[in-house]
Amino acid sequence: MPELPEVETVRLGLAEHVVGKKFKEIQVLHHRATSPKSMAALESLRGARIEEVSRRGKFLWFILDRPEILAGHLGMSGQFLIQPKGAPDERHLRVRFKLGRQELRFIDQRTFGWLSVESSISGRPSCVEHIAPDPFDKNFDIEATISRFRKKRTEIKRALLDQGVMSGVGNIYADEALWRSKIHPETRTEKLKESRIGELIQSATDVMSQALSVGGTSFDELYINVNGQSGYFERSLAVYGREGESCPRCGSQIRRISFANRSSHFCPKCQPTPRASGNR
């Protein structure tokens, strides 16, 4: 699933190409592309002008010259592509927004992504009310975020993935941030000092900044930017997807464990289990 660096890469590309353009025509080609919570049909936005493209965590939205907002989530395989008018349709094209000489296309192979017409709450769509600010948000409060982590009383990896605690981090960057901070994914949040949680948040911010600088992480063609290009941060990953390879820091063999219905990758030497390391 695309995480903050990938979604921000898409947002930047969209902002460059669509701000100031009008939805001259909207064609919904698959019913699952529209969220069941959408307050209106996507076609109702015909004629709207795009004023801004915004993001919080993994959510994108288009601010329009009308009260409604067009919100979206890429899910597992959603893509926004900018294509010239008349270009051949993609196999999994779900929604076409005609902008004049160009088209904005929403493509989604697995149909877990969605678009939605939302009401505006302080300039944000209603669907992100429960989503906490991410580290790149101007409203991000580090002390409040640390407090939310400590109150969860759960494994730190699970808390990192909780978008109500801090948004934007998914499985890839959670594993990378934990490795950088030398914290085992199963360490309990209440056992970590505030300073250690602060270090972890900084590690997550740093790794996502570096990923953003190269267009994010692409393992296959399911994540590409609006121009159809892949990101290159996969080459810089230290532990995620590296099971059996050597830790870049100590040389130990990277391990993978099952965690919260997904895989966690870590170095058993750099990130000892909570029982072996004690309370930090």
Strands 50-56 and 59-64: antiparallel
The one catalytic residue in 3, 68, 103, 176 is: 3
The one catalytic residue in 85, 193, 262, 280 is: 262
Other Cβ atoms closer than 10 A to 148: 18
Mean pLDDT (the chain, rounded): 93
Give the tens place of pLDDT for each residue, 254-274.
999 997 778 999 999 999 998
The one catalytic residue in 56, 58, 98, 148 is: 58
Please spell the DSSP secondary structure of 108-151, one letter per residue: ESSS--EEEEE-EETTEEGGGTTPPPPTTSTT--HHHHHHHHHH
pLDDT for 232 equals 65
- What is the C-alpha separation between 71 and 10, in angstroms, rounded? 14
Give the tens place of pLDDT for each residue, 145-173.
999 999 999 999 999 999 999 999 999 99
C-alpha distances (whole Å) from 194 to each of 11, 36, 135, 145 are 32, 40, 17, 10
- Enumerate residue ranges in the chain where pLDDT < 70: 219-224, 232, 276-280
pLDDT for 221 equals 59
> Does residue 2 have an active-site annotation?
yes
pLDDT for 274 equals 87
The one catalytic residue in 2, 125, 133, 274 is: 2
Could you tell me which of 16, 127, 17, 25 has the C-alpha nearest to residue 68? 127
Give the tens place of pLDDT for each residue, 106-131.
999 999 999 999 999 888 999 999 99
> Does residue 58 have an active-site annotation?
yes
* Domains of the chain, start order: 4-128 (3.20.190.10), 142-277 (1.10.8.50)
